Amino acid sequence: MATSPAAADASLIAACKRGDREAFRLLFEKYKDRVYSLALHFSGNEAVAQDVAQKIFLKLYTSIGQFRGDAHFTTWLYRMVFNACTDEQRKTRRLVPLEGGAVTAAERKAERRPQEQAQFRRQISDAVRGALQGLKPELRQPLVLRYVEGLSYQEIAAAMGCSSGTVASRLNRGHKLLARQLSHLRGQLDR
């Protein structure tokens, strides 16, 4: 009989709580991309994202016993990632706002031939990721959860511990700020 994802998670987590290193490896494989991806988008820096991801999994290993199971595991994970990123940002101040060079590169790519669309798309992605760093954390979080994790407003609200209305309001502000910061890319997006 097929096991549901939630049941599989519960089984893995229970094994991790017993100190099963192999189960922890499986849990790592399952969530490593999501953790790293969230950390990268939230921090905007690959080195920081790697540090944060490492810390998250170490913390996960040591404190998974504290996971109560009354919330989704991913919700718990999201909060750990955001808290770790915030701590890291406060500690290292390595996070920098989007540099003009990245946008310039994206613009330059955008002017190239259509066969370079994939690369162009990646450049836009880098530019948006950079622009995210100029936003306040409370605006950055819902954007990352929406577009990187693909969560609904309700799921974002659960992860952030706020109402759906607040999520809508913050996303509204976040979208507008992104649009203002990267308005010069408007023409490129239409291509």
Partner 1 sequence: MTVGAAACPAPKEEEQELMFGHVTNRLSAYCNGELNAAEAQRVESHVAACVSCRAELEEVRLGVALASHLEPVAAPESLWQRVEEALDRGEGQAERAPRLAWLDWRAAATVAAVLLLGIWLAMRWMPGDPAVPAQPSVAGTPARSAQQSVSFDLGVFLRPVQAAGEDVSFERLSSAPPGFVERKREEKFSLEWLNRLLNGPNEPLPGYTLQSARTGAADGAPIIQLVYAKGHDKAFSVFVAPRRVEFKFGKEYAYEAEVGGIACRRVDCPMQRTFEFGEGGFKCVLVTKWIADEDAARVMRFFLDAYRDKAARGMGSGLLVPSVHAAPAPAAPAQAAAKDDERTRLLSIGEKLFVAKCGSCHDSDGSKALTSGPPLNQRALTDEVIAKNVEPRLRSATPEEKQAVAVYIRSFLKPPAD
Q: Which residues bind partner 1 (CB under 8 A)?
A: 14, 17-19, 21, 25, 28-29, 32-37, 40-41, 50, 53-54, 57-59, 61-66, 68, 121, 124-125, 128-129, 131-132, 143-144, 146-149, 152-153, 168-169, 171-172, 174-180, 182-183, 185-186, 189
* CA–CA distance, 131 with 140 (Å, rounded to integer): 10
What are all long-range contacts of 27-34, with beta carbons under 8 Å and residues at least 24 apart?
Answer: 27/60, 28/57, 31/74, 31/77, 32/57, 34/74, 34/77, 34/149
Closest to partner 1 by CB, 41 or 48? 41
Closest to partner 1 by CB, 1 or 51? 51
Report CA torsion sign: 130, 34, 155, 152: positive
Token couple for 185: 């890319």
Closest to partner 1 by CB, 1 or 126? 126
Tell how far CA 102 is from the center of its chain: 20
Shortest Å, Cβ 138 to partner 1? 15
The answer to whether the beta carbons of residues 186 and 152 sit under 8 Å apart is no
Shortest Å, Cβ 144 to partner 1? 7
Closest to partner 1 by CB, 54 or 74? 54
- For residue 111, give the DSSP letter: T
3-state secondary structure of 138: helix
Closest to partner 1 by CB, 89 or 156? 156
Tally of residues, the chain: 191
* CA–CA distance, 6 with 75 (Å, rounded to integer): 13
